[in-house]
Amino acid sequence: MAIPVVNLADFLSGDPQLKQAFVNQLGKAYEDVGFVAVKNHGIPDELIADLYKYVQQFFALPRDAKEKYEIPDLAGQRGYTSFGKEHAKGSEAPDLKEFFQFGQTVEDDDPIKSEYPDNVQVNDVASFNVTFTKTYRAFEKSGRALLQAIALYLGLDEHYFDEHIHNGNSILRAIHYPPITQEPKSAIRAEQHEDINLITLLVGASADGLQILTKQNDWVPVTSLPEQIVVNVGDMLQRLTNNKLKSTTHRVVNPPREMWNTSRYSIPFFLHPKGEMSLACLESCIDASHPKAYPDATAGEYLDERLREIGLKK
Ligand SMILES: O=C(O)CCC(=O)C(=O)O
Ligand SMILES: [Fe+2]
């Protein structure tokens, strides 16, 4: 399905009409579909190409080399998570994937630094860490602009989210779905789920497979052009907006049999605020026909609950 396409350059153009049109398009798309493709997203193409190159080199390492980067007790939040560990909420069968997660680097004197585990430094692939750091910052910047547009759509101050996402708990996750070697029992590459965070930015997944569940209950493939990124609403934003903006269910299906011998790679950036941000439903999203749907919680409390549900945290 062609998801709505928005042009981030409109928002940043300085032309008030173009900016407002962008806000309306993005907000409407997030009320209706929950997913958009963003062009002129500001993440340099060379950086994305480098990132994919190093990610492929990493997953091609022998198993014992990768396992050096799998750190128990970090709930998969930093470093490597081997094949078959994570399952979708409510599903028994683990997803057919391995992944590597990279988190925030606090560079100012924000005391939140002590709450974040250090990133796991990969020594086997030159330039891996520096490329992850650069891409992480680029995603934060694009994500901040998108959240400014969302804030305006919700009638909030344009900079409402800025302080919450500065030094936020975002995760850059590189995923490898290996070739399929035997008939999978019940598992698919990534079982249906909703993302936990505020918004997810996804660059150029290397092969087909991503599908979203429509309001009519049909699974439809997400298609976007190579120069676009896909950006969807996660459960934290859905909760904050009392279900006004939709965290749409999605999954990654297995390829047809003749493509079983191919890998799929994808690199989502899960944009999280700091743990202390309140996700209490916004007053402006509550009225008689939309009664408050969730109890108050902070982003940190909510994240812990969700990590337990997907088998990453005990
Ligand atoms: O691999 C993809 O394209 C999407 C993965 C995904 O939905 C996730 O990791 O939350
Ligand atoms: Fe997802």
The answer to whether residue 56 sits within a structural domain is: yes
- Residue 69 confidence (pLDDT) above 90: yes
- pLDDT of the residue at 206: 60
The answer to whether residue 314 sits within a structural domain is: no
Rounded distance, CA 91 to CA 74, Å?
22
Domain that holds residue 122: 5-309
CATH code (residue 198): 2.60.120.330
Residue 250 Cβ inside 6 Å of ligand 1? The answer reads yes
- pLDDT of the residue at 72: 83
The answer to whether residue 65 sits within a structural domain is: yes
The answer to whether residue 27 sits within a structural domain is: yes
Q: Which of 202, 212, 249 to mutate to test the pocket of ligand 1 (most atoms within 8 A of CB)?
A: 202
Residue 86 Cβ inside 6 Å of ligand 1? The answer reads no
Q: Which residue has the higher pLDDT, 227 or 207?
A: 227
Nearest-atom number in ligand 1 for the CA of 189 is 1
In angstroms, the Cα distances linking 139 to 91, 135, 144, 179, 281 are 30, 6, 8, 29, 26
Ligand that comes closest to the CA of residue 205: 1
**pLDDT by residue (tens digit) across 33-54?**
999 999 999 999 999 999 999 9
The answer to whether residue 122 sits within a structural domain is: yes
**Closest Cα to atom 10, ligand 1: which residue?**
195
3-state secondary structure of 56: helix
Averaged pLDDT, 254-272: 94
Ligand that comes closest to the CA of residue 247: 2
The answer to whether residue 12 sits within a structural domain is: yes
Q: Which of 252, 264, 270, 272 to mutate to test the pocket of ligand 1 (most atoms within 8 A of CB)?
A: 252
Longest dimension (CA), the chain: 58
The number of domains in the chain is 1
In this prediction, residue 205 has a pLDDT band, given cuts at 50, 70 and 90, of low
Provide the H-helix boundaries in the chain.
8-11, 16-32, 45-59, 63-67, 128-153, 162-165, 235-240, 299-309
Residue 97 Cβ inside 6 Å of ligand 1? The answer reads no
Nearest-atom number in ligand 1 for the CA of 264 is 1
In this prediction, residue 188 has a pLDDT band, given cuts at 50, 70 and 90, of confident
**Closest Cα to atom 2, ligand 1: which residue?**
266
| ipTM, 2 dp | 0.98
Residue 140 Cβ inside 6 Å of ligand 1? The answer reads no
Give the strands of the sheet with 229-233, arranged side by side. Answer: 5-7, 35-39, 229-233, 199-203, 264-271, 171-177, 98-102, 79-81
